[in-house]
Chains A and B, each alone.
Chain A
Amino acid sequence: MNDKIYKVILFATALIIPTVCGGVIYALVTDAYQAFEHFGFFKFLTSSEWSYTEGAEQYGALPFITGTLMTTLLALIFCIPFSLPVALFVGEYFKGTRIAAILSTVTDLLAGIPSIIYGLWGFYTLRPIIMALNISPQGSGILTASLVLAIMIVPYAASLSAEFIKMVPNDLKEGAYSLGATRAEVIRKVVFPVAGSRIFSSYILAIGRALGETMTVTMLIGNTNSIPESITSTGNSMASIIANQFGEADDLKLSSLIAIGLILFLITAFINLIGKIMIKRARIA
């Protein structure tokens, strides 16, 4: 095989990725078109009606966009107090030691658990606890879903931020210690400022993960098609409404679900792009 054929073969396989991505966007846009045309793009985004009465079908994405944003945001809030300590534990306090390797393995395994099993655990263990604590009568809802979602994104955010914390040059840390700083002060005033924007970007990427998480949310969010009134109410996320209703949908409803898929795709792509750009921009000196 000569170099030319080799190059052509490599190039041809590399074309698969743009083809698949193009195909994804094309398929979503053409099949979502009917819904956008019927309801109007802006109306579809802002309508909170989701009713499939024959002849008077009304579909709007707002309840699900809200549901997704609420679960994601809450998951992020619950995730930070655990992922940041894990990152400091692995990347600073016990950097390179056995115990850090063990904790890394634990978080890796957490990341490996399939989302449907997280859903089961949330449903059979966490939901009864929520009910017992009288937080919400039915146990499922935005809060329950985001608690489990938080556990799912902790490993992701923690391992990324640990890498960035490890990258803070030892020179800087020793410089700070030589001026009489304690470790806590070095972390607060040197490690965080230096690695800060990258740590931030690892949370953006974690958000990207949480936005599209499907099974866990579907099993725990309670599946109601209206805008959630509080964090203890039930709702639906963009991913969960698709998972719940795609199977039996056709025509306008199918197109509406695909339109929701397109919106979810765009939001996720945007968030991931921002995260990646931020990581590249934030060079550590």
Chain B
Amino acid sequence: MESVKPILEFKKTCVSYTKQTMAVKYVSAVIEPNTITAIMGPSGCGKSTLLRAVNLMHNLYPNIRVDGEILLNGENILSMEPIDVRRKVGMVFQRPAPFPTMSIYNNVLSGYSLNGIRLSKTEKDATVERCLKSVALWDEVKDVLNKKGTFLSGGQQQRLCIARALAMKPDVLLMDEPTSALDPIATAHIEELMQELQKEVTILIVTHNMGQAMRISSKSMFMYLGELVEYGDTETMFTNPIDERTKVYLTGKMG
């Protein structure tokens, strides 16, 4: 074990939708900064549910309970204000959904306008340029910044959504199957991008696609029926899984 201070730590994290059933059961794991961690598992295994717990998305729905602890830089987010947590933990969803009533420019800055933070014109311009550049969208849209984001292609829209999340300078970026609605070329773009982003932000990505997990992540989690079955270096897990269930999943899907 390296002695790097963890950025994120799950401690016996549980999520339940109803009193009887738990969607995520006692997950404990330590995430190091500037890594990409892939969360894999069959549908319904709780991987998205776990991811959404990290930015307190579950607080939006009154019946969902989250127990245990999730530490962000050592502080338990479950006892923090959701709006504060969500600023520090960005999220990208399955389907790209830029705000249809805002221009590309304003979409990038939407985090600020939603939070009621005023920026000067130069700050705004700089933020937009920085974020669009870091998602490799700047060259494509720099002349149409005032157009609506919905005119872009699916892949471009998703990159815009990543830029929107990055604009808030989050510590952690959550990605919930960000490429599942995209074509292979757009997917490749985003995967490439993630390698770059790793330098500024810690990424947790839920993916169905094992090839993707292998290509981009340094660490992998395998979840099954709400449990974290195996967590470790991606390479080790793919070549030499310890748990039988991981093996079955990996071979069954890969073979």
Q: CB within 8 Å of B: which residues of A?
A: 169, 171-172, 174-182, 185-186, 189-190, 193-194, 196, 284-285
A172 and B165 contacting across the interface, CB-CB below 8 Å: no
Q: A178-B55, A179-B111, A194-B99 are in contact. List 13 more A-B contacts (CB 8 A).
A: A171-B95, A176-B110, A176-B114, A177-B60, A178-B57, A179-B114, A179-B165, A180-B84, A185-B116, A189-B110, A193-B102, A196-B101, A285-B150
Number of chain B residues whose Cβ lies closer than 8 Å to a Cβ of chain A: 28
Jot down 12 A-B pairs with beta carbons below 8 A, ordered by A.
Answer: A175-B93, A175-B99, A178-B86, A178-B93, A179-B114, A180-B87, A180-B168, A182-B83, A189-B110, A190-B101, A196-B101, A285-B100
Chain A residue at minimum C-beta to C-beta distance from B110: A179
Chain B residue at minimum C-beta to C-beta distance from A171: B97
A180 and B83 contacting across the interface, CB-CB below 8 Å: yes
A179 and B168 contacting across the interface, CB-CB below 8 Å: yes
In the assembled complex, the CB of A94 is this many whole angstroms from the nearest CB of chain B, namely 10
B115 and A180 contacting across the interface, CB-CB below 8 Å: yes
B60 and A179 contacting across the interface, CB-CB below 8 Å: no
Q: 4 tightest CB-CB pairs across the interface, nearest first?
A: A285-B100, A171-B97, A181-B114, A178-B91
Q: Within 8 Å CB of A180, what residues of B? A: 83-84, 86-87, 111, 114-115, 168
For B83, B100, B114, which residue has the most chain A Cβ atoms within 10 angstroms? B114
In the assembled complex, the CB of B152 is this many whole angstroms from the nearest CB of chain A, namely 12
Does B41 sit within 8 A of A, measured CB to CB? no
In the assembled complex, the CB of B81 is this many whole angstroms from the nearest CB of chain A, namely 9
Q: A185-B114, A189-B113 are in contact. Are A177 and B86 (CB under 8 A)?
A: yes
Which B141-198 residues sit within 8 Å CB-CB of chain A?
150, 161, 164-165, 168
Chain A residue at minimum C-beta to C-beta distance from B113: A189
Chain A residue at minimum C-beta to C-beta distance from B97: A171
Which B75-92 residues sit within 8 Å CB-CB of chain A?
82-84, 86-87, 90-91
B90 and A179 contacting across the interface, CB-CB below 8 Å: yes
Task: Give bound CA distance, A9 to B83, whole Å.
Answer: 62
A175 and B86 contacting across the interface, CB-CB below 8 Å: no
A193 and B101 contacting across the interface, CB-CB below 8 Å: yes
In the assembled complex, the CB of B117 is this many whole angstroms from the nearest CB of chain A, namely 10
Q: Within 8 Å CB of B95, what residues of A? A: 171
B165 and A178 contacting across the interface, CB-CB below 8 Å: yes
B115 and A175 contacting across the interface, CB-CB below 8 Å: no
Chain A residue at minimum C-beta to C-beta distance from B174: A178
Task: Give bound CA distance, A182 to B161, whole Å.
Answer: 19
Q: A177-B57, A185-B115 are in contact. Are A172 and B97 (CB under 8 A)?
A: yes
Q: Within 8 Å CB of A181, what residues of B? A: 83, 114-115
In the assembled complex, the CB of B43 is this many whole angstroms from the nearest CB of chain A, namely 19
In the assembled complex, the CB of B59 is this many whole angstroms from the nearest CB of chain A, namely 9
Task: Give bound CA distance, A284 to B93, whole Å.
Answer: 19
Task: Give bound CA distance, A215 to B200, whole Å.
Answer: 69
For A178, A179, A185, A196, which residue has the most chain B Cβ atoms within 10 angstroms? A178
B83 and A194 contacting across the interface, CB-CB below 8 Å: no
In the assembled complex, the CB of A164 is this many whole angstroms from the nearest CB of chain B, namely 14
Which B22-79 residues sit within 8 Å CB-CB of chain A?
55, 57, 60
In the assembled complex, the CB of B188 is this many whole angstroms from the nearest CB of chain A, namely 24
Q: Within 8 Å CB of A172, what residues of B? A: 97, 99-100
Q: From B86, B114, B150, give the contact of A189 (CB < 8 A).
A: B114
Chain B residue at minimum C-beta to C-beta distance from A169: B97
A171 and B93 contacting across the interface, CB-CB below 8 Å: yes
Task: Give bound CA distance, A171 to B150, whole Å.
Answer: 14
Q: Within 8 Å CB of B55, what residues of A? A: 178
In the assembled complex, the CB of A193 is this many whole angstroms from the nearest CB of chain B, namely 4
